[in-house]
Amino acid sequence: MNVTLDGIGFAVPPVSICRQKSSEVAKQLSCSSDQQRRRLEALYRRSGVQSRGSVLLSEAACGTVEQDFFPPAVDHEDRGPTTAVRSQQFADHAPQLAADASRIALDESGLDPSQVTHLVVVTCTGFAAPGVDIELIQRLGLPAQTQRVQVGFMGCHGAINGLRAAQGLLAANENANVLLCCVELCSLHYQYGYDANRIVSGALFADGAAAMVLRRDSQKPSLATLVETGSCLVPDSRDAMTWKVGDHGFEMTLSATVPSLIEAGLVDFLTPWLAKRGHTIESIQGWAVHPGGTRILSAVETSLGLQPEQLATSRSVLSEHGNMSSATMPAVLRQFADRDLPRPWLMLGFGPGLEIEVALLE
Residues with a known catalytic role: 156
Amino acid at 171: A
On whether the CB atoms of residues 5 and 11 are closer than 8 A, the answer is no
Is the C-alpha dihedral spanning 286, 291, 295, 300 positive or negative? negative
Helix axes 196-204, 19-30, angle to 10 degrees: 150
289 vs 194: CA distance, rounded Å: 30
Residues 6+ apart with CB under 8 A from 75: none
> Do the strands 3-11 and 207-216 form a parallel or antiparallel pair, or are they unpaired?
antiparallel
Could you give the dihedral angle defined by the CA atoms of residues 111, 112, 117 and 122, in that order, rounded to the nearest 10 degrees?
Answer: 70
Mapped onto helix, strand or coil, the DSSP state of residue 339 is coil
Is the C-alpha dihedral spanning 254, 333, 267, 46 positive or negative? negative
Strands (E) located in the chain? 3-11, 16-18, 51-53, 57-59, 65-67, 118-123, 147-152, 177-185, 207-216, 224-233, 241-246, 249-254, 286-289, 345-351, 355-361
